[in-house]
Chains A and B, each alone.
Chain A
Amino acid sequence: MFEALSSKLNGVFDRLRRRGALSESDVQEALREVRVALLEADVALPVVRDLVARVRERAVGQEVIRSVSPAQQVIKIVNDCLVEALGGGEGDDGKRGLDLAAAAPVPLLMVGLQGSGKTTTSGKIALRLKGRDKKKVLLASLDVQRPAAQLQLQQLAERAGVASLPIIPGQTPLEIAARAMDLGRRELYDVVILDTAGRLAIDEALMAEVAAVKAATNPHETLLVVDAMTGQDAVNTARAFQERVGVTGIVMTRVDGDARGGAALSMRAVTGAPIKLLGAGEKLDALEDFHPDRIAGRILGMGDIVSLVERAAETIDRDEAEKMAARMQKGQFNLEDYASQLKQIGKMGSLSGILGMLPGVGKMKAQLEDANLDTTILKRQAAIIGSMTPKERRTPDIIKASRKRRIAAGSGTTVQEVNRLLKQFDDMSAMMKRMSKLGQKGLMRGGLGALLPGSGGRRPF
């Protein structure tokens, strides 16, 4: 499971090697690693402290289970605590998404910092309510701060196929809100979404303004929109919006990025409000339901297989990959195939970014970063293969000293680099043979692993 953390915890418990119950000091050392993992995932420090205390309470004195390692046992406890803190687990009432059980028109108020994704999320919610829930939705922008903000929402409304409140320049947010609710009542809208300007937690005047809007419209849901990349400041923001405005739910945006999303925990802990929705892209249909277990895994660095597969699928040429897989299975994998694999990996972007999403590569990723390996190595390797003759690519065994010198000169690299590539390719082919039983999926991942210095594919993850 959560490899990044578990490799560290394994280290801790390897040193301890105790039997019987987990002792206070065993747990203590493990918790230090848990703390670091949570902080690196941007969970706010006060929230980390609480969580660690909860884990300690549950872990100390627990019987060591024969079949699992103590590290796995602690991780299980950490995971359970995270899932619970995110609203899952035993106390989960199973309720997800927005609550619209109120007299129409139901006002929804969107609040948050500048640029967190309020306007885009307003459009997404409108599209979902219209399509899935067959609601008549009105979008209204109260943002008189950011240039063209009202126009932005109007254009999103057009894309979503819902109505938007006609723009009247010069009106205050309160006036716009009143006009929106009035139109909502007169034209029998089911839901009126009030998008607001971004505001800082410490901006007294603007916080008072949105509080006034809330008092005037009495929204059934007040959604705090936060960016998944948010750091420690999440607690300040959450506290301010909770105290000054009152929040009924949280929407976390940009989960399509590679941030670990610890802010979800911080926000939830401070406001007590559930996380209701996730934004997973710029397009209007990129709105997802929230699953506590998935976000818990992400925060712990368990590796988001889903996003990895998604990214791979987005960039890797399917036909190409299938052809290659077939060749691998037949044991025909050669340097030409390797070159084309390099190209595809290059297209996928930063190597360590991709590896970070794979479970089981915590250690390798560190290794990779130590080696300072980046995609430029891929490019150099591609250049080396590019300097080979077709015959050499198909039968690398014929590449001896003089050919190596020619290839190195042709690709602007060194003989050592050529050697390293050939060695790597050897390791890789050997592993291919072993992995051919596992089918395509395994092959793709094995291919990535074989690129790692020192690992030589000996670790098919």
Chain B
Amino acid sequence: MRPQDDAGALREAEARQQTAQREAEAREAAAAPPPGHAVELRPPSEPVAIPPAQASGGAPLPGAVAPRPAAPAAEPVPAAPAAEPVLIAPAAEPATAAPGGWFSRLKSGLARSTARLTEGVTTLFRKRRLDEAALEELEEMLITADLGVAASARIVEGFRRSRFGKEVTDEEVKAALAEEIAAILAPVAHEMEVDPRRAPHVVLVVGVNGTGKTTTIAKLGRIYRELGLTCGFVAGDTFRAAAVEQLQIWGERTGCQVHAPAKPGADAAGLAFDALRAAKEAGTQVLLVDTAGRLHNKAALMEELRKIIRVLKRQDETAPHSVLLVLDATTGQNALQQVKVFKEMVAVTGLAVTKLDGSAKGGVVVALAQEFGLPVHMVGVGETAQDLRPFTARDFARGLVGLD
């Protein structure tokens, strides 16, 4: 900044600082635990089948599918703890997906989202020599998929070594590119393991604002209910307007009990503490803790998250058993910073990538895999409770370059 601007900049900083202070104070005031803090427990609802279209009065959501009965393989054991840790895959979708099932929808979603990338690869490499210019264009295509400059360069470097100067068809290039990307992703493609014997297995869901935390919780809740598990939600976003009500609606739709604050603006940590106790008493098998969105560069808000963890540990030293960071696929290179800070501050155990049904490619996941090696558990591909899929390296990579 030019020196003569300093005074102005500082004045402005002062004004901003006041705003920031007000904001912090307001949040602090809002976070003060109410006297005789109580948790409102709604009566346990019956397991519900998920209706095909959930939009209240709106048009059916694109991609909504007919309700599926719970996977027959999973024995419903509502009261007794399930014997084995649970993965989302088997219940999320039977392996034999019918046409129009999740796999083809995932494919079509990815195919759409990568149409442009594919187009590029196709026109670029048909009957063409893989020369310097071709490699550069390939690198640029990876960049437009949000892989970032460094990761794109690394991948193309691998290509240069093995294939430089060869005559290649677009099909070969695509397959090889997918392989290259899949190899990077394979080590991080793990599902989130939930052990119902912990009663409850506590999942803390974190992330920046608007990424899809609440919706992802709803999607997970649906899966656990279909597996026959008892599942509770903690409405820990006590800050954003109507965030509690949003989760309550999801609780009703998925048959998960919602632990809501007694009044708006209650302390999220206090709420989580009470909810964990209630869940223990009730023998709830999975407890999904929603939190307010927060930017990773806001230290006070990150500290608030750590407080939730500390408070949970007072009841169960091993909790939270999973810390799920929810990332929006539209996010560019800032995702690296998000993961870095959340990992540092709250020991993230895995990632969920949402909004992959859009045109954003989520390529930053590749850079994330190389940089942090954190497991990527699942992807969100829509706004309904059905739209959650396990993350698989091969499908993601092949989808990314437009292969079946």
Contacts and interface: CB of A to CB of B under 8 A. Distances in A.
Interface in B28-79: 55-59, 61-62
B209 A42 contact: no
A309 B21 CA distance: 13
B394 interface: no
Given A257-B295, A349-B302, A115 B16 contact: no
B334 A263 contact: no
Contacts of A147: 56, 245-246, 249-250
Interface string B237-269: 001111101101110000000000000000000
B359 A349 contact: no
Interface string A104-120: 00000000011111000
A392 interface: no
Residue among B116, B212, B297, B344 with most chain A CB within 10 A: B297
Interface in A26-72: 36, 39-42, 44-45
The majority secondary structure among interface residues of chain A is: loop
Given A115-B211, A257-B208, A231 B17 contact: no
Contact of B57 (A144, A259, A349): A144
Contact of B149 (A40, A230, A258, A260): A40
B226 interface: no
A282 to B, nearest CB: 7
Contacts of B299: 311, 314-315, 347-349
A302 interface: yes
A447 to B, nearest CB: 17
A455 interface: no
Given A201-B359, A257-B208, A231 B20 contact: no
A148 B328 contact: no
Interface stretch (B140-148, B169-177, B307-315): B140-148
A200 B109 CA distance: 12
B334 A313 contact: no
A20 interface: no
B383 A114 contact: yes
Contact of B19 (A116, A153, A172, A281): A281
Interface stretch (B7-15, B122-130, B159-167): B7-15
A340 interface: no
Contacts of B57: 144, 169-172
B15 to A, nearest CB: 10
Given A152-B242, A258-B337, A350-B344, A146 B358 contact: no
A305 B334 contact: no
Interface string B264-279: 0000000000000000
Given A305-B1, A309-B10, A314-B20, A350 B341 contact: yes
A203 B60 CA distance: 13
B229 interface: no
B321 interface: no
A172 B1 contact: no
Contacts of A350: 296-297, 340-341, 344-345
Interface in A349-407: 349-350, 352-353, 359, 374-375
A159 interface: yes
Contacts of A151: 241-242, 245
B55 A42 contact: no
A97 B144 CA distance: 31
Interface stretch (A85-93, A232-240, A415-423): A232-240
11 contacts: A39-B148, A151-B242, A159-B241, A169-B56, A229-B331, A231-B360, A240-B359, A258-B297, A297-B1, A314-B24, A350-B296
Given A231-B330, A305-B9, 14 more contacts: A1-B1, A40-B148, A40-B333, A42-B332, A44-B144, A231-B332, A258-B297, A260-B333, A280-B16, A281-B19, A309-B13, A314-B17, A350-B297, A350-B344
Interface of B: 1-2, 9-10, 12-13, 16-17, 19-24, 26, 55-59, 61-62, 112-113, 116, 140, 143-146, 148-149, 208-212, 239-243, 245-246, 248-250, 295-300, 302-303, 328, 330-335, 337, 340-341, 344-345, 355, 357-361, 363-364, 383
Interface of A: 1, 36, 39-42, 44-45, 113-117, 123, 144-149, 151-156, 159, 169-173, 200-203, 205-206, 209, 227, 229-233, 236-237, 240, 254, 256-260, 262-263, 280-283, 285-286, 297, 302-303, 305-306, 309-311, 313-315, 347-350, 352-353, 359, 374-375
